[in-house]
Amino acid sequence: MTSNDKEKDGFFKRALDKIEVVGNKLPQPVTLFAILMLIVLLLSWAFGGVTVDHPGKEAGLLDREGRPLETISVVNLLSREGVQRIFTEMVDTFATFPPLGLVLVVMLGIGVAEHSGMIAVGLRLFVSKVPKSLITFSIVVAGMISSVAADAGYVVLIPLGGVIFLSMGRHPLAGIAAAFAGVSGGFGANFLPTGLDPMIAAFTEPAAQMIDPGYTVNPLSNYYLMAASVPFIGLAGTWVTERIIVPRLGSWQPEGEVVTEEVNEITPRERKALKWSLLSILVVLGLVAAATVPADGLLRGEIDPETGVRSMRPFYDSIVPIMFIVFFVGGLVYGIVAKTIKNDKDVSDMTAKAMATMGLYIVIAFVAAQFVAYFNWSNLGSVLAVVGSDGLTAIGFTGGPLLVAFIIVASMVNLVMGSASAKWAILAPIFVPMLMLMGYSPELTQAAYRIGDSYSNILTPLLPYFPIVIVFAQKYVKNVGIGTLISMMLPYAIAFMLIRIPMLLIWIWLRLPLGIEGPIFYSP
């Protein structure tokens, strides 16, 4: 590399290194979440009683208890009622923390698949068959597609990315970063419809009806834009990984007992075991399909009175147990055929080994769950979102600049509020009617929100799965901290933002439909 190249690349690298150093000077995640808990308690006390009008008031939106949404007030958690809630709900808050059960259940199945040798042999086959030039792209794209299985990509694909890179003799943190970028930074972009589509549309429609009472929003109204985004985000994620992350991390130097895995020749017994394992997985998936595809299948729910078709909700809610069964059965069959499993004790030992690696995550999950609960109970995030949105409205932007500013605001709100539906419940009643009056469709505003709600996911420690990504990374590099992860993911966030925002503007300029019944412009 010439001195000019080094000087050109040096500033960005130095900036990332500085972010890493500063970030890693923060306390360990457990301590940091404990400090944030205290800060939230103090802020709730200082601003307790501050009230703003809920944007959904005029739209007639209801809260979870079916009551009309009228105002949002900061709740003082240091009051008598607040303190009682903290203590009486502490255990339930931890036990019902969504990432906790999902991670532990899936890891039980993965433990058998991993320690029986199924995953290692499967990856060796994958590495030997897929061109190396496409592996990074495949990981990023697989991350986006994984959102079909809700949040399962966080606990399956992200560690898998590290293992794939490790098996190639490359730095495993680069594989983890690529997978995390796809799963979380590319959130919403997908070739397939997901549960997010109808959930988001359910908030867009009543907000649109503030202006046009008869307006309806198709759940797939953003499908074309989101599907078209996948290859571009995949290419951007690949470029960042190969041109920024891999050179910055340097060559892989194992720590302690971590050993790189060479891609050795698969033995006949391993090949036979893998074939039987894949066959067993296909049988499981066939049974799942038989319980899902028929209109009256076991995994179909109540009949929708509007469509006359049974809901797919039980199937969506069963994704995690299904993944556990797939990994468990596949690993079990592989182990029996390959002779790595000789009795039931071997199986229980494998699951125990998987749980032994999750000790730190369980501790982090406890404090993270309490912090997220305190933040939600206090309504601080909701009030901040309304105030920020009002400030943007007051600036007086119109058209394209307003859409870009709205995307930026959505991405900033995303740093303090993790739930996509909770943020949209607040922002939709403000921006959907505003942009309708300017001639832009509710579907376009929804698409802009989904872009802003994606690329900043990978930068906020408030993301419920952020701690587990750190735990996955610490398997290879013990001193990985919040700063390390943020410095790795910042280039992805910038690249995805620079891809998705111009893409939306070009889409508008070309007047392409956003999806099924997804117009760009609104005409009464």
Residue-level pLDDT, tens digit, the chain, 524 residues: 444 544 445 665 676 667 666 666 667 667 877 888 899 899 999 988 888 776 555 555 555 556 666 677 889 999 999 999 999 999 998 988 766 777 788 778 878 887 888 877 776 676 567 788 888 998 898 888 877 655 667 877 888 889 889 888 889 999 999 999 998 888 888 887 766 777 778 778 877 876 677 788 888 889 899 999 999 999 999 999 999 999 988 888 776 554 444 445 678 888 999 999 999 999 999 999 999 888 888 888 888 777 777 877 788 778 778 878 988 999 999 999 999 999 989 999 988 888 887 777 788 778 878 887 887 788 886 677 677 666 666 766 666 788 888 899 888 877 766 666 667 766 777 778 777 777 789 999 999 999 998 888 888 877 778 888 888 898 888 888 888 888 899 999 999 999 999 999 999 999 999 998 889 988 76
Q: Helix, strand, coil % (nearest 5) of the chain?
A: 70, 0, 30
Lookup: tokens for 72: 């949002």
> What is the C-alpha R_g of the chain?
24
The strand pairing partners of 51, in sequence order, are: 73
Q: How far apart are CA 257 and CA 278, in angstroms?
A: 30
Q: Per residue in 212-245, is it b (16+ CB within 10 Å) or e — as a string?
A: eeebebbbbbbbbbbbebbebbbebbbbbbeebb
Output the six-digit token pair for 16.
């990332």
Q: Quote the pLDDT of residue 236.
A: 95
Q: What is the pLDDT of residue 458?
A: 87
Residue with tokens 């808990």: 37
Residues ≥6 apart with Cβ < 8 Å to 295:
309, 310
Q: What is the pLDDT of residue 281?
A: 92
- Cα dihedral 197/199/204/206 (nearest 10): 140
What does the CA dihedral 480, 482, 484, 486 come to, rounded to 10 degrees? Answer: 150
Residue 179 one-letter amino acid: A
Residue 114 in contact with residue 120, Cβ under 8 Å? Answer: yes
Question: Are residues 172 and 255 in contact, defined by beta-carbon separation less than 8 angstroms?
Answer: no
Neighbours of 388 (CB within 10 A): 17
181 contacts 142 by C-beta, under 8 angstroms: no
Entry pTM: 0.68
Q: Is 184 helix (H, G, I), strand (E, B) or coil?
A: helix
The set of residues, in sequence order, having a beta carbon less than 8 Å from that of 197 and lying 6+ positions away, is 219, 220, 222, 223
Please classify residue 415 by burial: count the beta carbons closer than 10 Å to its beta carbon, then call 0-12 exposed, 13-18 middle and 19+ buried: middle
| Neighbour count for residue 405 (Cβ, 10 Å) | 16
Tell me the backbone φ, ψ of residue 190, rounded to 5 degrees: -165, 145
The token pair that represents 1 in the structure block: 């590399």
